C-alpha cells in the first residue's frame, strides 16, 4: 500500500532506508547466529518513520499507548479500534520493519474471538504478528491462531492486563514454584504454535531456562541477558516517564528539547519576531 504524502509543512528528515524487510524468518536466523534482536514500542507514523531509519528490528504497537499516549492509568483502556488505527499508522511509517501489535484486553477470551480480532490486526492494521498476554490455559487459543495462519508472540511473566489481579506491576518468577510455572507455560505455548516468546520482569535464571527449552526467539523486557532480544517502552527511553522501570536507562531528555523549542516559539510570537515577511504570502498581480 502506498503511504499518504505528508501535509505541507517543515521538510521531513531524510532517513536511511532499511536494507531489507524484517520477517519472522529474519528473527529466527538472528537467533541461530546469536545476533541480538532490537525492539521498541511505537504508536504513530512520525515516530515509526524515525525509528525505521535506525535499524530497529521490531516495532511493538503496544497497548501501553493507553497510558503513554492517552494518559490512562492502565493498558486495559486500549480498545480494538484504537489499536487498529495506531498499528496501521506505524506500518505506514515503517514499511520494512516487523510490526508486532498487541491484542487488547478481552479481545482473545476464546479461540474464535482471538482469531477474528487477530485477523483484523493483520488485515486492517497491517501488522506482521500479534502479541497476547498468556499462561498455559491459552494453549488452545495459540493453537487456533496457528491453524488460522496468524503469527503470534506469547507474553509471559509480568502481565500488565492482569495487574489488578496480581496486586500491581510486580516482578514474576522469583520463587522456585513461580519460575517453574513460567517455564512450563512458555514451553507449552511454544509447542502450541507460538512464533515468539516475550518475558517481562523475570529473573535471568527463568529466561535462560525458557531459551534452553524452546526453539523460537525469546525477547526480554527486564528479563536479563539470556534473551535473544530486548524491548523497552520508547517513552521510558526518551525521558517522558517520571519513574521508569529499573531495567530502562534514560538515553535522552526529549521533553526538555520539545519544551525549549516551544518556549522559543512562544517568545518569538510575544516579541513579534514571528511571523516575519519571509513567512507570508504576497498578492498576485
> Can you read off the three cell numbers belonging to residue 30?
538472528
Compute the chain's Rg from CA coordinates. Answer: 21
Check if 72 is active-site: no
Q: Of 25, 133, 200, 263, which is the active-site residue?
A: 200
Nearest-angstrom CA–CA distance, 42 and 53: 13
Distance between CA atoms of 147 and 270, rounded to whole angstroms? Answer: 62
CA dihedral (215, 217, 166, 188) in degrees, to 10, reads -20
CA–CA distance, 141 with 148 (Å, rounded to integer): 11
252-to-238, 248, 256, 257 alpha-carbon distances in Å: 5, 12, 9, 9
Nearest Cα residue to 217 out of 24, 57, 62, 21: 24
CB atoms within 10 A of CB 148: 14
Q: What is the DSSP letter of 76?
A: G
Residue 19, sorted as left (phi over 0), alpha (psi -120 to 50) or beta, turns out to be alpha
**Cis previous bond, 63, omega within 30:** no
Grid coordinates standing for 213? 527449552
The catalytic site residues sit at 200
Amino acid at each position: 500500500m502506498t503511504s499518504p504524502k505528508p501535509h505541507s509543512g517543515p521538510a521531513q528528515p531524510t532517513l536511511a532506508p532499511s536494507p531489507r524487510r524484517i520477517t519472522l524468518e529474519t528473527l529466527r536466523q538472528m537467533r541461530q547466529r546469536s545476533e541480538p534482536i532490537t525492539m521498541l514500542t511505537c504508536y504513530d507514523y512520525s515516530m515509526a518513520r524515525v525509528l525505521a531509519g535506525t535499524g530497529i528490528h521490531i516495532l511493538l504497537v503496544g497497548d501501553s499507548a493507553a497510558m503513554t499516549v492517552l494518559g490512562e492509568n492502565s493498558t486495559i483502556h486500549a480498545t480494538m479500534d484504537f489499536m487498529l488505527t495506531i498499528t496501521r499508522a506505524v506500518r505506514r511509517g515503517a514499511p520494512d520493519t516487523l510490526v508486532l501489535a498487541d491484542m487488547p484486553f478481552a479481545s482473545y477470551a476464546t479461540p474464535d474471538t482471538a482469531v477474528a480480532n487477530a485477523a483484523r490486526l493483520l488485515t486492517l492494521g497491517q501488522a506482521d504478528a500479534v502479541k497476547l498476554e498468556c499462561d498455559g490455559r491459552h494453549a488452545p487459543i495459540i493453537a487456533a491462531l496457528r491453524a488460522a495462519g496468524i503469527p503470534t508472540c506469547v507474553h509471559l511473566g509480568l502481565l500488565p492486563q492482569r495487574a489488578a489481579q496480581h496486586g500491581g506491576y510486580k516482578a514474576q518468577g522469583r520463587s522456585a514454584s513461580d519460575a517453574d510455572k513460567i517455564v512450563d507455560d512458555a514451553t507449552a505455548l511454544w509447542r502450541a504454535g507460538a512464533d515468539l516468546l516475550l518475558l517481562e520482569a523475570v529473573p535471568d535464571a527463568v529466561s535462560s531456562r525458557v531459551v534452553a527449552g524452546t526453539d523460537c526467539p525469546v525477547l526480554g523486557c527486564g528479563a536479563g541477558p539470556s534473551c535473544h532480544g530486548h524491548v523497552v517502552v520508547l517513552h521510558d527511553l526518551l525521558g517522558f516517564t517520571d519513574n521508569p522501570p529499573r531495567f530502562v536507562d534514560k538515553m535522552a531528555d526529549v521533553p526538555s528539547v520539545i519544551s525549549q523549542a516551544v518556549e522559543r516559539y512562544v517568545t518569538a510570537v510575544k516579541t513579534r519576531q514571528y511571523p516575519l515577511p519571509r513567512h507570508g504570502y504576497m498578492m498576485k498581480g
